[in-house]
Amino acid sequence: MRDHGPAVWQTAYRLLANHSDAADCFQETFLAAFEIAGREPVRNIAGLLVRLATTRAIDRLRQRSRLEQRQTDAIDRRPPGDEPDPLERVHTHELASQLTEQISRLPPQEARVFCLRYLNDMSYRQIARELNIAISVVGVSLYRAKARLRAALADAQTEENEVSHAKET
Amino acid sequence: MRKKREQDLLDEAIAQLRQQGLSEPLPQDVVDKTVQRIAKSRAGRPSIRNPQSAIRSFAGWYSRFAAAAVLLLAGYFAGRVTSPDVRELRDALTPAVAASLEPVLRQRLGEELKDHYQVALAGTYVHLKEDLAQQYRDDLNRYAVQTLAASNATTNALLGELVQAINTAQAQDLRRIAMTLSQMEAKRMQDRTQLAAGLVTLASHVEDELSQTKKVLAPFLLDDQPREIEMLPPSRENAPNERTKE
């Protein structure tokens, strides 16, 4: 836990951005990993932990998104201290928040592949091995996920621009 | 153009999301709770593993042993066919087989022991920490109770001394007041006696003086009786001068 705990915590916190949810996800990840290690030999414990943490964090994110409980006071995102401009900070927060929201709306496998590739820097081969799928499936899932996210983010940005323009006029 | 902008937006969002979790350290309480839950789950689980996994593990080992036995038998028969010296063949094969199996067995045993002792040590550490914290709290409570009792006893002793001192002072004051009152009473009695003696003396002097005056005035009253007294009407017989005359 000393070796792999920080990576698991970062994976969970990055997606959930909430201390209690990340703590639950952390505990569930290690419990599941111990269960799996008791059943069968594990060759790559780091990959297993990251995969489990990502899966659980996405599940929790989807639950949260479904129940529409994303209230701003429940989310304790901490703004980085080296960002002096409040507008930029709000923009950053908003963009990352939109991305996690759109990830929660992706199909589960695409969301997992996207997170493992772009948030945990795993190679196609590692992702394929961890998720027990073919490398070509990884590539297709990643392509589809990126296309969906790109479109969704662009739509969200356009809507935001229209709202701000309407407010200004 | 639009696709490029969308790609930039996605890249920016990914970069920002990657930055988010970096500044958040792993809290120690989360680690402790996780270790506790793992220790509990391991304590609640029976020591014998899942039968399916045990069967699978046994089957794995069995297949390895079977393969090794087949290899040995094949070698044995090949040796018997090719070479008549069985001892040499056995001597040659035994170290090779032992050398091939020993590292795997050692590694497997080492991993099992490491997992087992790591979890046991982590659970023991958490229990020890809780026990020490509890013991510390108990000691602190006991010390607080003892200190309070000692403080109460000291306060009671001091209060007793204070009450005794007040009583002593009051008794002394009362004694002094009684003494002063008795002195005043004695003085009063003495003054009264002196006054009575003085009054008696004064009365005797006054009586002497009166009798002296009477004696002096008596001849005058007898010799020079005024005419007016003689010319008084008879109704005034009871006048003092008349009576004096009689």
pLDDT in tens, B142-189: 999 999 999 999 999 999 999 999 999 999 999 999 999 999 999 999
Cβ within 8 Å, pair B18-A37: no
CATH number at residue A65: 1.10.10.10
Number of domains chain B is built from: 1
Domain carrying residue A79: 5-168
Q: Is residue B18 part of a domain?
A: no
Give residue-wise pLDDT tens across range A30-67: 888 888 887 777 778 888 888 888 888 888 888 887 77
Question: Comparing B42 with A104, which gets the higher pLDDT?
Answer: A104
Of A34, A100, A150, the CB nearest to B17: A100
The per-residue pLDDT for B54 is: 59
**Residue B113 DSSP label:** H
Task: Report the C-alpha gap between B193 and B187 in whole angstroms.
Answer: 10
Number of domains chain A is built from: 1
Question: What are the residues of chain A with a beta carbon less than 8 Å away from any beta carbon of chain B?
Answer: 1, 5-6, 9-11, 13-14, 17, 19, 23, 26-27, 30-31, 34, 37-40, 77-78, 80, 92, 95-96, 98-100, 118-119, 146, 149-151, 153-154, 157
Give residue-wise pLDDT tens across range B227-241: 555 555 555 445 455
Q: Is residue B33 part of a domain?
A: yes
Token digits of residue A118:
């772009």
Task: Report the C-alpha gap between A100 and A17 in whole angstroms.
Answer: 9
**Residue A77 DSSP label:** P
- Complex ipTM: 0.71
Task: Please tell me the pTM assigned to this model.
Answer: 0.45
Q: Cβ of B55 under 8 Å from any chain A Cβ?
A: no
Domain carrying residue B87: 26-163
Give residue-wise pLDDT tens across range B90-144: 787 888 888 888 888 888 889 888 888 888 888 888 889 999 999 999 999 999 9
Q: Is residue B244 part of a domain?
A: no
Q: Is residue B246 part of a domain?
A: no
Q: Cβ of B51 under 8 Å from any chain A Cβ?
A: no
User: Can you say whether the dihedral through the CA atoms of B181, B186, B190, B193 is positive or negative?
Assistant: positive
What percent of chain A lies above the pLDDT cut of 70? 82
Give residue-wise pLDDT tens across range A136-153: 899 999 999 989 888 888
Residues in chain B with CB shorter than 8 Å from the CB of A38 are: 45, 49-50, 53
